[in-house]
Amino acid sequence: MRHFIFVCPNTHLNVQHSLDEDDNTDQNEFTAVSCPACTRLHFLSRKTGQLLGADSTPKS
């Protein structure tokens, strides 16, 4: 299992989630995740753990 922590875009809370490991996944392959912080659906990259549409550069 691969464990991820992402920030819910609605509540700005840290959310833990785990996905089955699959070395053959593409970086652009996302899976739907039900968020326990806001009960909405988010799309999480199976390879990087990043949310779909999330800004990859840190804000200054």
For residues 15 and 37, what is the distance between their CA atoms, to the nearest angstrom?
A: 7
User: Vertex 12, ends 3 and 14: CA angle to 5°?
Assistant: 25
pLDDT at 19: 85
- Predicted confidence (pLDDT) per residue in 19-58, tens digit: 888 778 888 899 999 999 999 999 998 888 899 988 765 4
pLDDT at 56: 62
- pTM, rounded to two decimals: 0.76
CA 24 to chain centre: 18
Contact 49, 36 (CB under 8 A): no
Domain residue ranges of the chain, discontinuous segments joined by +: 2-45
